[in-house]
Structure 1
Amino acid sequence: MSFAQEKYQPSVENLANREWFQDAKFGLFVHWGVYSVMAGGGDYGIAEWIMNQKQIPIRQYEKLPSFFNPTKFDPEEWVSMVKKAGMKYITITSKHHDGFAMYDSKVSDYDVVDRTPYGKDILKQLKEECDKQGIKLFFYYSQLDWHHSDYYPRGNTGKGYTGRPESGDWNAYIDYMNAQLSELLTNYGEVGGIWFDGMWDQWDANWRLDETYALIHKLQPGALIGSNHHKSPIPGEDFQMFERDLPGENTMGFNQTGTISELPLEMCETMNGSWGFNLKDQGYKSSKQLIQTMVKAAGYGANFLLNTGPMPNGQIQPENIDTLMIMGNWLEKYGETIYGTRKGPIKPTNWGATTQKGNTIYLHILELSEENLLIHNLNSKIKSIKLFDDGAKVNFKTTEFGTLIEIPFNKRQLVDTILKIEI
């Protein structure tokens, strides 16, 4: 596309970080902003979208920061939790669609340092702790902005109610966006990358992506760029993401392409039905469901970016912590079958998935009601098949229809029965 970073050649650092990213497999998504004060307004699934969904004018919404005082925010506690959960990186909202920055921006005073009683740079504290504990930090940045007067013409959201003048300078807004991105990429040391969102608000606008992507890659050649635009990756992007769906699937209606690129992959998912904190949303997914989704994502070669919406006081919801600790315990035992793997020879399906590391294939059986499993696409010569848990040999035979593997019911695990296949 003409507006992308044509002829982009990733740097040596960028390629190395892509490999690291593919090895990492599991990260924490954090949706946190002044909208958490309203706890989603008591409506299911609104949370960070409350300004738009409740049509709150800017002059009223601007009162929210004065209530945001997360005195319980403890970055050391957050990052320690992330490590215990087996996660390797954090992606946090630096600015969401409401336009409010969670760091000390110098090109705007609409930020956590200048407008809240808390008065401290959230991202700076988190980045310092991530560096101490060896966790990479990525910055989510919304291209869509319901607050900035120069975000004009308006897209499909944030219209009518905001009180903004029906005029503006689009190029001035892109300049502002690039200035904020420059801050994020020069004031916080080395970051993992930039996670864009909001381009879907007006896909055909002149986003000047060639300039933005080139700027990011110039300031931090190793930083990875991804965009949640719901379409195939465009030149200048370093990984492809899928919102609330496995790669290539579209049960949520977000992913408008079935294409899975050759770039590193990531899928993001919520622990309940909301991204930001929402008091009413108690529809928590079970740890079993989330582990199995992570396994299937790995079966596609994709990372699993699992979200939490911190409470306005700065603490992570206890229900989320409980889930993450269960997942961390599972990964402590079975991480070998996830970390550092690539997609296996058999595409994820109803019964499970495969991951692979060299000549070892990990067969993840998630749901199987029968004693035997017939695999059609395992074309390599099999040396042995063993249960991952106890190393016991598994009976198998090769037939004209495929490989028939015997999996005794008394050896099944509740979440994932893993076989280690040497080829």
Structure 2
Amino acid sequence: MRILLVFLLVSLSIVVAPAQSVYQPSAENLAARKAFQDDKFGLFIHWGVYSLLADGEWIMNQRQIPAKDYEKLPTFFNPVDFNAKEWVSMAKNAGMKYITITSKHHDGFAMYDSKVSDYDIVDRTPYKKDVLKMLADECQAQGIKLFFYHSHLDWHHPDYYPRGRTGQKTGRPESGDFEKYLTYMDTQLTELLTNYGPIAGIWFDGWWDQSSDDAGHVGKTAPANKNGIDWKLDRTYSLIHKLQPAALIGNNHHVAPFPGEDFQMFEKDLPGSKSTGFNEAQTIGQLPLETCETMNGSWGFNIKDNRYKSTKDLVHYLVKAAGHNANFLLNVGPMPNGKIQPEFVKSLAEIGQWMQKNGETIYGTRGGPVEARNWGVTTAKGNKVYVHILDWADRQLTLPALPGKVSAARLFADKSPVKITQSAEGVVLTMAAPPAADMLDTIIELDMAPATAKK
């Protein structure tokens, strides 16, 4: 009865909420956007009962596991080695400023204590603890912001109907009430935004499942869905902004941002790039930007995936993201026991060592005055421009004309001077020696007047 009452009360509040035609972000929201851009680096965590099968977070769909069989997985999920303090400390020591974790993925299983459903970690597993509550408390203790990833689509819920592009072989009845499902989703979002303290934002995924505008998501092998389902995003977004005005909304839909969204994300690609098939129809908007990527080739735990990216590759991605005026959200897929793979832990520690020395050239910056080149990128902050040389073997580097005079140049690492030759055609930087082959990033710091940072 208590569950039903909560559901009805929240449902009523959702139904009577006025439609949001023109989104006007609050002062708190605008400040949070700027802080988000300044943070630059975050930890993505894909974790759920799918980790038991050790083959990624899409396994229910890929192996066409019926919902009634998939429901057996939670009875084996007992992450006794989960330690929120270890996770948050690992992220903080890596130089990360925020964490984004899956509250509910496409399989529909909630990784927190939901009251509107018992299909969650507290009610269905022998662990019986709310990992998101422990993580939220630890994030607040260590000064790390917390975002919740939340899936629009749901391969388990019976009212997720009509079926979308994915999850068509999970044995659910060929009927359902999509409006009831949307109410269920908004009720779970209400729980997340009222029971876990300050939440930095909601990271949506799965909108593309019910859209004919799909831009090539991993579900593209399924038949194209022309249902044209209305997700009623205005209603959901308005609810989130009402509950926590500073919370930022992003949606991994691979198209131009919708009203009510506060940042724009690019999956496995730098903004403007179209190398992975996810962002074919996506252009860069005016919102803060974020790109996300994996440390091997998988989001969720995959025991066979040893395609580990090197620390050099990951640092270069972080630097390039900053040069493209974007944050970098780097993913780990914890194991079912609650531990994070040692390969990931090692790489994050090494990135943290680099950030301790060079974070000034990343945090608080915006994309610099020189767009990305084969040799690297530039970042800018105040009257400083940082030239990040990632792939260059000569003493001299020529930049195009800059919107201001360079008054001084030096290597960031040891402050040794770099010779400047500036003309209307460009700027030539001459170093005492070519960048060392073992350097992850040779950074030249330019003093500029006036400031050239993007707003």
TM value normalised by structure 2: 0.89
- CA offsets 1:106-153 (integer angstroms, 9 cap, x no match): 111100000000001010010011111111100000001000011001
Greater shift, 398-407 or 78-87, is seen at 398-407
Matched residue, 1:187: 195
Provide closer, same or farther for how the CA distance between residues 226 and 64 of structure 1 changes in structure 2, counting only shifts above 3 A.
same
Q: Distance in 2 between matches of 1:5 and 1:49?
A: 33
User: Quick check: 1:306 aligned with 2:334?
Assistant: no
Matched residue, 1:415: 440
Q: 1:117 corresponds to which letter in structure 2? A: P
Residue 389 of structure 1: CA displacement? 0.9
Matched residue, 2:363: 339
| 2:203–2:249 CA contact under 8 A, matched in 1 | yes
> What is the root-mean-square deviation in Å for CA atoms of aligned residues?
1.3
Q: Secondary structure of the residue that 1:268 maps to in structure 2?
A: strand
| 2:392–2:435 CA contact under 8 A, matched in 1 | no
Q: Distance in 2 between matches of 1:155 and 1:409?
A: 58
Q: Distance in 2 between matches of 1:388 and 1:140?
A: 37
Q: Distance in 2 between matches of 1:4 and 1:348?
A: 41
Matched residue, 2:33: 18
Residue 373 of structure 1: CA displacement? 1.3
Residue 371 of structure 1: CA displacement? 2.8
Matched residue, 1:116: 125
| 2:113–2:123 CA contact under 8 A, matched in 1 | yes
* Count of matched residue positions in the alignment of Structure 1 and Structure 2: 414
Q: Distance in 2 between matches of 1:127 and 1:349?
A: 40
- CA offsets 1:232-275 (integer angstroms, 9 cap, x no match): 11100000000000011110000133421111110000000000
TM value normalised by structure 1: 0.96
Among 128, 138, 163, the residue aligned to 2:171: 163
In structure 2, list runs of 5 or more residues that go unmatched.
Answer: 1-17, 212-227, 449-455
Q: Distance in 1 between matches of 2:162 and 2:393?
A: 55
Matched residue, 1:286: 310
Q: Distance in 2 between matches of 1:350 and 1:146?
A: 42
Q: Secondary structure of the residue that 1:370 maps to in structure 2?
A: coil
Q: Distance in 1 between matches of 2:283 and 2:366?
A: 18
Q: What does 1:248-287 align with in structure 2 at a 5 Å threshold?
A: 248-287=272-311
Q: Distance in 2 between matches of 1:62 and 1:386?
A: 60
Q: Secondary structure of the residue that 2:57 maps to in structure 1?
A: helix
- CA offsets 1:205-242 (integer angstroms, 9 cap, x no match): 11011100000000001100000000111100000000
Matched residue, 2:185: 177
Q: Distance in 2 between matches of 1:219 and 1:152?
A: 28
Matched residue, 2:255: 231
Matched residue, 1:48: 57
- CA offsets 1:11-70 (integer angstroms, 9 cap, x no match): 111111111101100000000000000101xxxxxx000000000001110000011000
Q: Distance in 2 between matches of 1:231 and 1:370?
A: 40
Q: 1:272 corresponds to which letter in structure 2? A: N
* Larger RCO of the pair (alpha carbons < 8 Å, separation 6+): 1
Q: Distance in 2 between matches of 1:49 and 1:4?
A: 34
Q: Distance in 2 between matches of 1:258 and 1:124?
A: 35
% same residue: 63
Q: 1:100 corresponds to which letter in structure 2? A: F
User: Quick check: 1:143 aligned with 2:152?
Assistant: yes
Provide closer, same or farther for how the CA distance between residues 327 and 217 of structure 1 changes in structure 2, counting only shifts above 3 A.
same
| 2:264–2:289 CA contact under 8 A, matched in 1 | yes
Matched residue, 1:367: 391
Residue 300 of structure 1: CA displacement? 1.4
Q: Distance in 2 between matches of 1:201 and 1:348?
A: 33
Among 50, 58, 68, the residue aligned to 1:59: 68
Q: 1:29 corresponds to which letter in structure 2? A: F
Q: Distance in 2 between matches of 1:158 and 1:355?
A: 42
Residue 4 of structure 1: CA displacement? 8.9
Among 198, 219, 228, the residue aligned to 2:206: 198
Provide closer, same or farther for how the CA distance between residues 101 and 378 of structure 1 changes in structure 2, counting only shifts above 3 A.
same
Q: Secondary structure of the residue that 1:350 maps to in structure 2?
A: coil
Matched residue, 1:44: none
- CA offsets 1:154-189 (integer angstroms, 9 cap, x no match): 110011x21111011010000000000000000111
